[in-house]
Amino acid sequence: MEGADSKPVKVRGRQCCICDKRRAALKRPKTLEQICRECFYEVFEEEIHQVIVQNQLFKPGERIAIGASGGKDSTVLAYVLSELNRRHNYGLDLFLLSVDEGITGYRDDSLETVKRNEIQYRLPLKIVSYKDLYGWTMDEIVKMIGLKNNCTFCGVFRRQALDRGAALLKVDKLATGHNADDIAETVLLNILRGDIARLSRCTSIVTGEDGPIPRCKPFKYTYEKEIVMYAYFKRLDYFSTECIYSPNAYRGFAREFIKDLERMRPRAILDIIQSGEDFRISTSTKMPEQGTCERCGYISSQKWCKACVLLEGLNRGLPKLGIGRSRGLNNDHTKGAKESNGTKSFESKQCGTLDF
């Protein structure tokens, strides 16, 4: 029994397992270590620095565009790359590159966040829009095709829009905020689709080296949850609303599956990525031959790139023309493109040209 003058024993909180000086503030989703905020910032940034150095992602003097959507991934990427560039003397010229898909109530709001990031991080910003590049906004496309398959159009157009914006900035590389969760999801999606060509390259930390502008993924081994924690603790300014057209996206099913695996075994995300890296394609498997689109000059394994096929379908009032696997176009496709029902000639909207 305690004496009348005895003082209550103060329970000591769990200490950080790295520094053993400060109280632990979080449990790392990736390693389950309990660490303090300061140590979390340090290990988070150091891991990304090591990925950059070990994979030689950048060279001194290069111009690097950061794909900026205003979301957590791209905002943290812009902040961390700015910090590491200064701290480790990378010698890079950094730029923010955003795509305005034309989604009212979503992209217009997120672009305001990017504009604030431009001021906060002192990085020049370039915005390219679907309307200027293709003559269509995503709102107009969804109005025509409905909510099914809209992500196909947006994904194809966005990829080319980023390349075109990067070409306007005359950058050497494009850095994107794809994280470990994204890459693991992509591995599963390519397996489910039987897409051997994409499966063979989806885990590469640098892609498009044979194209106009290479892309790199500094967050390849960085968990989405840790990016969210970093943004929260650092109080970074980012936009967190989901795209209003994304709930029906096929990728969502893979995402939920990955989250379930992570809850049972956090290491599962990295294991899936490693499995993707270790896949070997049989030498007897016929792979698509890389060429260029006859219409716009963009990289394509078909006569017309996917964006040109999709855009022709929209302009002809046949939005389903490019949905699913490409099976080639009829010989009269050029004629049909010019006939469109009251719309502008397809030739007036060259979707992927890099000749400015």
Q: Please provide residue 191's backbone torsions phi and psi, each rounded to the nearest 5 degrees.
A: -70, -45
pLDDT in tens, the chain (356 residues): 445 555 554 445 689 999 999 999 999 999 999 999 999 999 999 999 999 999 999 999 999 999 999 999 999 999 999 999 999 999 999 999 999 999 998 998 999 999 999 999 999 999 999 999 999 999 999 998 887 878 889 989 999 999 999 999 999 999 999 999 999 999 999 888 888 878 878 899 999 887 779 999 999 999 999 999 999 999 999 998 888 887 666 777 888 899 999 999 999 999 999 999 988 777 766 767 778 888 887 877 788 888 899 998 998 888 777 775 544 444 444 444 334 333 333 333 344 333 32
99 known member of a binding site = yes
Q: Please provide residue 20's backbone torsions phi and psi, each rounded to the nearest 5 degrees.
A: 55, 25
- Domains plus CATH for the chain? 49-278 (3.40.50.620), 289-324 (no CATH)
Residue pLDDT, tens place only, 304-344: 888 899 998 998 888 777 775 544 444 444 444 334 333 33
309 known member of a binding site = no
Residue pLDDT, tens place only, 60-110: 999 999 999 999 999 999 999 999 999 999 999 999 999 999 999 899 899
Name the 3-class secondary structure at 110.
helix
Cβ atoms of residues 130 and 138 within 8 Å: yes
Locate tokens 């996206």: which residue? Answer: 249
pLDDT of amino acid 354: 33
Long-range pairs for 147-150: beta carbons < 8 A, 24 or more residues apart? 147/245, 147/248, 148/248, 149/320, 149/323, 150/245, 150/248
177 known member of a binding site = yes
pLDDT of amino acid 5: 54
Tokens, residue 96: 């923010």
Q: DSSP secondary structure string, 145-210?
A: H-SSSHHHHHHHHHHHHHHHHHHHHT-SEEE----HHHHHHHHHHHHHHT-HHHHTTTT-SEE-TT
| Whole-prediction pTM | 0.83
pLDDT of amino acid 158: 93
67 known member of a binding site = yes
Which has the closest alpha carbon to 152: 183, 189, 127?
A: 189
68 known member of a binding site = yes
CA 203 vs. chain centroid, Å, equals 13
pLDDT of amino acid 244: 84
Segment holding 73, helix H or strand E: helix 72-87
Cβ atoms of residues 24 and 35 within 8 Å: yes
Residue type, 215: R
